[in-house]
Structure 1
């Protein structure tokens, strides 16, 4: 059943929420009085439509319906989730909550994107404070998985659990903040680094570009896959975290940091930071920077996905809920996916090695359909590829949605031969073909053998369906 989300406030964050819901099959209703809201949200959605599907090796759900509304009352009608993303002014947020709760159903989760206010502050003056919680995202919401979920004693634990379940269904990671605190968790950590950065610029120690280099070439890479404490545990060597604290803990008393002090943001300091920032990346438009950021995030998260760690583990788990075996048909639709940015080469199109990967993934879907899946491997059997012939017929670029159509053209004894066609979904053009011969093997002897009767019968049935004798 299609679900409906209402987005109140359609800036960068609201637009990101809209993309995350919409691309996961939800209908999205938007209220934003800004005359440019259609354009701004459209640009965020364009980036989201390009980026989010690249994380997955299968098709995402059919996109939901997007609609814009002239009033909050219309936008929240029938909504199962309401996300408030208006500017960070407490009086404005409270007024929005009063208005929407006059028109939405009781018990609907109302999440606030606030980065600083505590939920108890937001709940003040509300008609039903028990329905309001903080669900603080990170930009871009359509790619960044963390959502800080913060409630109060007024919130029923069942509502919080329902909110977290919904977020997980969107491929997000809800981090339940146990006690409310200004700026929650992640922003407090970022604020600490930001303060130090401001002092380093003000004191002439480093430029904005040099500070960014210090982060992205060192601990930023480690943090992306291990966080803070796990990284320091490794730094403690075999003795672990206790030894690390014993060795480096005394340094916390040294006058290294200015965390409890903030440089005055004088016109001179603001001009210095702005000029350095312009010199660093002013040659790129904001949209160019967003594309660059999204491409980097996709490539890094896909690398973590290959390793099954951190954000990559989250994507794999979500992907399992999206993936379905192909239906018995002629041909089989063995792949339906978007080509990710990390599959392209110096010429800007898909690297030839990735054609081998997508056809290999297609063959695994065929194998799973006939019963040669993970459980079959555990029984000690599989199919090994012994020969492929790939023909490259047209360029394939990042962001294009493609399907692989597969037919079993030989399915007798030890042989399983597939012919695959990769097509651009937009116009049906055949972009590449692959003739693949696989042989059934015993994983115990690592030699060919006949498949068990159940698998052999399914292979023969597919070969017959696809017009060849089994």
Structure 2
């Protein structure tokens, strides 16, 4: 689904507003931004740089033509001509009422308004509006340009058609609109987050855990499960074959135990605030905010890409969006005979390695042969210390042959032989076979040893040179296959003969 609008306005360019700007622009929607902060242009453009970087790594389709960003001195000027307006001003009701009044004064009669409020109900925001039916809550999650969830909340004055139209716009931005059935303070997600936050405050207050220990409990444990399955489906599985009913029967009585302090919250004293701040500084103070954003973005990209391959959770949203925009779309043995092809790598063909023909797709052959080359280099002594010394090999020539089809689940083996080497180069040949020994593909590579600090060729260091010399007697006695060193046969256009 492409976004059904081409012009949006964003009011407020902070962390959330800047994220909205990036989400719109990277989906091809023009954005008019108003923020009275004199530093807004710099901070938004810095965030947009990070968003572009993350988006390039996230999406596999050809890039959408980015929308145009313009900056405006007033709310009224920014919203003029916009089909959809996203308000992101501070969480103070009087400020929001003032800004929403300005939006109404300058916006087209049919423009829709979304508020990023994390706590206010839509009816509270609509209280002083001339046309309250045009505003809903559209509450996103940071970073807005990567996290797909957005809570859409209407009041009694909003029609189903309005919330549906807003949902269509947001879905066109590769987001997952979650329409909240009835308005409530803090909506759904933040009420859940608030429960964890309050427990965290007590654990710190009572010296049970530090900020890092609490974050570790989440990111190494249930956070990974929640990222792809949520709360109740996770617990359903915890109930075993008997499912959720068994889980509730088994663990339900624990709800009456005095574990939680959710009904009582510690006073946020200066001492507790300082304690949390000090612990957070110790945990993450070595990184700048921009560095933390990039670390976070890289992790989220990895999770979303992994989930996309399974069409699960947030990954299904990404997979569907990509399809709509591009529809065409081992371990070495300890007993290795140096006088035989070296059995250094094996793997299994994964389901996401399969193309539209039902066979392993081309770039996965390159991946397997690349991993096989890495296994060979490790075998001859190119370890982490060798690389850190500023020496490595570059592949300067490759020749791949595909000789048989490979299907999902197939176990594939790669043997490697050394066809020749000198002081700076090594020529290797990989053969990929199945469990029956049938040759599936071959790859021949010329590797050049380099000083990575100067990117210039240089002799192998003794560690590798000695290992290659030890392999030479056995490997040189192996007869090279007839295809080794051969080029690709060309078909002449005139007579269609092989030339």
TM-score range, shorter chain: 0.7 to 0.9
Which residue matches 2:126?
123
Q: 1:181 to 1:433 in 2, by over 3 A?
A: farther
| Alignment-derived partner of residue 292 in structure 2 | 289
Aligned residue number for residue 224 of structure 2? 221
Shift of 1:209: 0.8
CA distance in 1, matches of 2:168, 2:89: 24
Question: In the superposition, relative to structure 1, how do residues 4 and 387 fare at CA in structure 2: closer, same or farther (>3 Å)?
Answer: closer
Structure-2 change in CA distance of 1:385 and 1:35 (3 Å): closer
* TM-aligned CA deviation for residue 388 of structure 1: 7.1
Q: Structure 2, unaligned stretches of length 5 or more?
A: 330-344, 371-394, 408-433, 439-490
Match of 1:307 among 304, 307, 310: 310
| 2:251 paired with 1:239 | no
Contact kept in structure 2, 1:2 and 1:25, CA below 8 Å: no
TM-score relative to the length of structure 2: 0.68
Q: In the superposition, relative to structure 1, how do residues 78 and 266 fare at CA in structure 2: closer, same or farther (>3 Å)?
A: same
Tell me the equivalent position of 1:197: 200
- CA deviation map 1:334-372 (0-9, x unaligned): xxxxxxxxxxxxxxxxxxx9xxx9xx99x96xxxxxxxx
Cα displacement (A) at 1:107? 2.4
Query: Counterpart in 2 of 1:66?
Result: 69
**TM-score, length basis structure 1:** 0.72
- d(CA) in 2 for partners of 1:66 and 1:228? 38
Equivalence for 1:206:
209
Would you say the 8 A contact 1:386–1:437 is kept in 2?
Answer: no
Please list the CA deviations of residues 211-262 of structure 1 after superposition, one character each: whole Å capped at 9, or x if unmatched: 1111111111111111000110011111100010011001000100001111
**Cα separation, partners in 2 of 1:325 and 1:195, compared to 1, 3 Å:** same
Q: Is the 1:383–1:439 Cα contact (8 Å) retained in structure 2?
A: no
CA 1:139–1:432: 2 relative to 1, 3 Å: farther
Q: CA deviation at 1:43?
A: 1.1
Q: Following the alignment from structure 1 to structure 2, what is the Cα–Cα distance between the partners of residues 126 and 442?
A: 63
Check whether the contact 1:196–1:257 (CA below 8 A) recurs between aligned residues: yes
Distance in structure 2 (CA, Å) of the matches to 1:316 and 1:325: 13
Partner SS for 1:192: helix
1:93 to 96, 101, 104: 96
Larger mean CA deviation between 155-164 and 201-210 belongs to 155-164
Counterpart contact for 1:385–1:438, Cα < 8 Å: no
Q: Cα deviations across residues 45-89 of structure 1 (Å, max 9, x unaligned)?
A: 111111123222212311011100111111111111100001111
Is 1:27 the counterpart of 2:49 in the alignment?
A: no
Map Cα deviations across residues 285-341 of structure 1 (whole Å, 9 max, x no partner).
Answer: 111111111111111111111222111111100111111549xxxxxxxxxxxxxxx
Q: CA deviation digits over 1:164-197, x for unaligned, max 9?
A: 1111111100000000000000000010000000
DSSP-derived class of the 2:117 partner = coil
Aligned to 2:167: 164
**4+ long deviations beyond 4 Å:** 382-392, 431-443, 467-470
Q: Equivalences for 1:73-152 in 2 at 5 Å? A: 73-152=76-155
In 1: Cα distance, 2:202 partner to 2:74 partner: 45
Task: Note the alpha carbon deviations across 1:397-443, whole angstroms, 9 max, x for none.
Answer: xxxxxxxxxxxxxxxxxxxxxxxxxxxxxxxxxx9987655569799
Q: Looking at both structures, which has the greater relative contact order when contacts are Cα pairs under 8 Å and sequence separation is at least 6?
A: 1
Distance 1:387 1:276 in 2: 44
Q: Distance in 1 between matches of 2:366 and 2:248?
A: 57
Kept in 2, the 8 Å contact 1:24–1:60? The answer is no
Cα distance in 2 between the residues matched to 1:282 and 1:308: 36
Indicate the SS of the match to 2:157.
Answer: coil
1:468 Cα offset (Å): 8.1
Task: Judge conservation of contact 1:13–1:139 (CA < 8 Å) in 2.
Answer: yes
User: Match of 1:457?
Assistant: none
CA spacing shift, 1:97–1:388, aligned 2, 3 Å = closer
Structure 2 counterpart SS, 1:82? strand
Tell me the SS of whatever aligns to 1:6.
strand
- Shift in alpha-carbon separation, 1:318–1:383, aligned structure 2, 3 A: closer
What is the rounded CA distance, in whole Å, between the counterparts of 1:42 and 1:227 in structure 2?
33
Q: 1:204 to 1:468 in 2, by over 3 A?
A: farther
**Structure 1 counterpart of 2:385:** none
Q: Give the C-alpha shift of residue 2 in structure 1.
A: 6.8
Secondary structure at 2:106 match in 1? coil
C-alpha deviation, 1:384, in angstroms: 7.8
Separation of aligned partners in 2, 1:90 and 1:169:
30
SS of residue paired to 2:70:
strand
Unaligned runs of 5+ in 1: 327-352, 365-372, 393-430, 448-462
The structure with the largest alpha-carbon Rg is 2
* Corresponding residue SS for 1:102: helix
1:39 aligns with 2:42: yes
**Maintained 8 Å contact 1:30/1:69:** yes
The 8 Å contact of residues 5 and 81 in structure 1, kept in 2 or not, is answered as: yes
Pairwise CA RMSD of aligned residues?
Answer: 3.2
Instruction: Determine if contact 1:148/1:184 at 8 Å carries over to the other structure.
Output: yes
